[in-house]
Amino acid sequence: MADRVMRAERGGATREAIMDAAERLYAEHGMHAVSNRQISEAADQGNSAAVTYHFGSKADLVRAIARRHATQMEAARLDMVTGAVGSGDLRDWVACLVRPYTGHLAALGARTWYARFRAQLMSDPGLQRINTREAMESASLRLILTGLHQCLPDLPAGIRAERQAMAGHVIAQMCAERERALADGSPTLHPTWDALADSLIDAVVGLWGAPVTPHP
């Protein structure tokens, strides 16, 4: 029994080390420039097949990394959604979309890679579908989208889907830019993640509420 527990603990620690290494390498070099062998070496695994053994495919590893962060953000989103229920103010719902993410990045500490990982993920059509499927399993995110749509009942479905995608890219890219600047020791546009959240909320509210040019 004790041996099984120890093996399970070692296996869990190895999985965490692989996810940490993969997140960093994917963030810094891109999804397709990094091999499983490089990830295994960065995770201090002597077996070059460790990634395949513990996760299977690259898509499975990416999914595990995305799910690990999504699980940590879900509680904060649920708290904000609970406070926004019944609101017809677009800004309240956009804040529910932005602040749990920037708050999570702030809580990760001074040295992070997740924002750049997520931006890399969103730039790859195949892997982006993984991110979308994982995101839509979040009960809080589904409630946020419902709240956004209720604030803009006259927005055509196609425009709504397009603006949802635009908002996702704006949030991901701006957070990645701040994270990259912090990693490089470069000046940042905003002194804190919370200040960036304020700016993103302003921008995304404007994006969602922008007029729609009519077409014949």
Residues 6 and 25 reside in one and the same domain: yes
**What is the radius of gyration, based on Cα positions, of the chain?**
19
Residues 50 and 138 reside in one and the same domain: no
Total domains in the chain come to: 2
Residues 87 and 70 reside in one and the same domain: yes
Give me the pLDDT at residue 136, please. 74
Single residue among 17, 39, 56 that ends a domain in this structure: 56
d(CA 167, CA 185): 27
User: In the numeric block, which tokens belong to residue 52?
Assistant: 């395949």
Residues 74 and 6 reside in one and the same domain: no
User: In the numeric block, which tokens belong to residue 177?
Assistant: 């830019």
Residues 43 and 108 reside in one and the same domain: no
d(CA 32, CA 17): 20
- Measured CA distances, 55 to 26, 50, 51, 159, 168 (Å): 16, 8, 6, 37, 27
Residues 112 and 197 reside in one and the same domain: yes
User: In the numeric block, which tokens belong to residue 208?
Assistant: 């969602």
| Residue range of the domain that includes 9 | 1-56
d(CA 128, CA 144): 20
CATH label of the domain that carries residue 113: 1.10.357.10
Residues 197 and 113 reside in one and the same domain: yes
Give me the pLDDT at residue 5, please. 44
Collect all residues with Cβ–Cβ distance below 8 Å to 36 and sequence separation of at least 6.
Answer: 48, 49, 51, 52, 58
Residues 68 and 15 reside in one and the same domain: no
CATH label of the domain that carries residue 32: 1.10.10
Q: Are 156 and 213 in contact (CB under 8 A)?
A: no
Residues 124 and 185 reside in one and the same domain: yes
d(CA 151, CA 37): 48
Give me the pLDDT at residue 7, please. 54
d(CA 14, CA 128): 26
- Kindly state whether residue 214 falls inside one of the protein's structural domains: no
Give me the pLDDT at residue 1, please. 59
- Kindly state whether residue 183 falls inside one of the protein's structural domains: yes
What is residue 9's three-state secondary structure? helix
Mean pLDDT per 10-residue run, the chain (216 residues)? 53 88 95 92 86 91 92 92 95 97 94 94 81 78 93 94 94 97 95 98 97 86
Give me the pLDDT at residue 4, please. 54
Residues 44 and 76 reside in one and the same domain: no
- Kindly state whether residue 215 falls inside one of the protein's structural domains: no
pTM of the shown model: 0.89
Give me the pLDDT at residue 3, please. 56
Q: Are 156 and 212 in contact (CB under 8 A)?
A: yes
